Amino acid sequence: MSLELFLLRMPKVELHVHLEGAMRPAVLLEAGLKKWFRFRDFEHFVQVYLTCSRALRDPEDFRLLASDFLTEQAYQNVLYSEVHFTIATHLGNGANGGEVLAALEEAIRDGEKSHGVTMRLIPDVVRNVGPQWADRTLEWALAGRDRGVVALGLSGSESRFPNEPFREHFAAARQAGLHRVAHAGEHAGPPSIRSVLDVCGAERIGHGVRAVDDPALVAELADRGIPLEVCPTSNLCLGVAPDLASHPFDRLYRAGCRISVNSDDPAFFAVTLTREYLRLHQTFGYGAAELAGLSLAALQQSFLPEAERAALEQRFQEEIETLGRDLLGGGVLATVAG
């Protein structure tokens, strides 16, 4: 049997995927948007992203989007996802924050009941729009602590806008028991990564691939065990790397950095998490054991409570062992565990 089938059935976790960026064309059409774009650069991508986000108006739109996302995750056996969500955009478009949270909470419950997959939310502070909307994002995140929100995130243009205005927001999130993640090291270099570690107390870095420009930073990230949420196809589409063979993924992996594989905005970049794993195999020659190890690493880097993570890890091990025996002739689990 093929490695492609192994990867489709392999249990997976996704830590860096944007809910709005998972909006497939059928959902967009149902919400009233009828155009699709190719991206010239990051700023053009943001314009398209905001245009698509404006298609989401009513609570049912958000429930539909989350339900469609969870159905696709279930098809790929992505058992757990931590999903970025830019609530400030929707509040600015007139959505009711409480109704949006309730709609997403309903979709999460339905996904667990119908498909056996779990989603948690990371509302993003957007650097571009300033502290006022960061206040609203933090407020929404705090209201959702027991309703699916696990962390406060930071996104937006790292090359044009500083992190410092949001220091207190992330301090408040930490005080309230929320985790902290931040996009950095994508369209700006190593200083951006160092900044979010200092300013935001980031526990994981979204992207982080530009760390390779500073070997000392790579060593520090590896030594401190700071995970990088790497999104290879996204980086190609937005010009971070010219092709996958040139992408820093393998260099960071070989340097001992903790890495997860992610799709970022799958509908925008015509990719799936399964396909990301396949492309890593095709480009860098990773075999089933290494790919399963990356999948297990993503679970270990998640913000799941320890007991839930341990139970899911046991399930991962059992499913990988079965797949290795049935599809690849055995030996995968032992290699991963070793």
Is 28 within 8 Å of 52 (Cβ atoms)?
yes
pLDDT higher than threshold 70 for residue 121: yes
For 38-41, the CB contacts below 8 A with 24+ separation are: 39/237, 39/238, 39/268, 41/238, 41/239
The pLDDT assigned to 324 comes to: 85
User: What global pTM score does this model have?
Assistant: 0.90
Average pLDDT over residues 189-204: 98
What does the pLDDT average to over 187-199?
A: 97
CA distance 303 to 120: 9
CA angle, 199 then 202 then 203, to 5°: 155
Return the axis-axis angle of helices 288-300 and 273-284, rounded to nearest 10°.
130
Q: What is the rounded distance in angstroms from the CA atom of residue 187 to the CA atom of residue 160?
A: 10
Mean pLDDT value across residues 230-237: 96
Sign for the CA dihedral angle at 212, 235, 76, 80 comes to: positive
The catalytic site residues sit at 186
Which tens digits make up the pLDDT trace of 281-331? 999 999 999 999 999 999 999 999 999 999 999 999 999 999 988 877 766
- Cα–Cα distance measured from residue 134 to residue 209, given in angstroms and rounded to the nearest whole number: 26
Render pLDDT for 79-115 as a digit per residue (tens, 0 to 9). 999 999 999 999 998 999 999 999 999 999 999 999 9
Q: How confident is the prediction for the chain on average, in pLDDT? A: 91
Residue 36 has pLDDT above 50, yes or no: no
Q: What is the mean pLDDT of residues 268-283?
A: 95
Q: Which residues on neighbouring strands pair with residue 309, listed in sequence order?
A: none
Q: Where is pLDDT greater, at 130 or 262?
A: 262
Return the pLDDT at 6: 94
- Other CB atoms within 10 Å distance of the CB of residue 177: 9
Cα–Cα distance measured from residue 148 to residue 161, given in angstroms and rounded to the nearest whole number: 29
Q: Is the pLDDT of residue 140 over 80?
A: yes
> CB-based contacts of 181: which residues, under 8 Å, 6+ apart?
122, 151, 152, 153, 154, 202, 203, 204, 205, 206, 229
Q: What is the pLDDT of residue 270?
A: 86
66/44 Cα distance (integer angstroms): 25
